[in-house]
């Protein structure tokens, strides 16, 4: 039986990234559709929403990537010993 790949941990990260991308594009489409000016309150709220979504997704994706790297390094050190 083959051991699980360390990259299988990144599948949930890919799904979360795709969901964030869809949400970001949907927000941009709504923003363009209603032709909001940059100084309007709704435009600033949508811009803040985009920023919060990006920050909310970037954190777990970064943690997943660091976890995958740590797992791979741990396996490599275990095989060398």
Residue by residue, pLDDT tens for the chain (81 residues) are: 556 666 666 677 777 778 888 888 887 887 776 665 555 777 778 778 888 888 888 888 888 888 888 888 888 777 766
DSSP letter string over 18-75? HHHHHHHHHHHHHHHHTT--TTSHHHHHHHHHHHHHHHHHHHHHHHHHHHHHHHHHHH
Establish if 26 belongs to a structural domain: yes
Domain boundaries, position 25: 11-80
pLDDT at position 60: 80
Q: Please, are residues 20 and 54 in contact by the beta-carbon 8 Å criterion? A: yes
**Structural domain count of the chain:** 1
Establish if 4 belongs to a structural domain: no
pLDDT at position 69: 82
Establish if 67 belongs to a structural domain: yes
Establish if 48 belongs to a structural domain: yes
Establish if 31 belongs to a structural domain: yes
Establish if 2 belongs to a structural domain: no
Establish if 47 belongs to a structural domain: yes
The rounded Cα 65 to chain-centroid distance in angstroms is 10
pLDDT at position 3: 60
pTM confidence score: 0.39
């Amino acid at each position: 039986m083959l051991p699980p790949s360390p990259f299988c941990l990144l599948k949930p990260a890919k799904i979360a990234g795709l969901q964030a991308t869809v949400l970001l594009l949907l927000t941009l489409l709504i923003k363009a559709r209603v032709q909001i000016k940059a100084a309007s309150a709704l435009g600033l709220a949508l811009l803040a929403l985009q920023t919060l979504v990006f920050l909310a997704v970037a954190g777990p994706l970064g943690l997943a990537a660091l976890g995958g790297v740590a797992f791979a390094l741990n396996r490599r050190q275990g095989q060398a010993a």
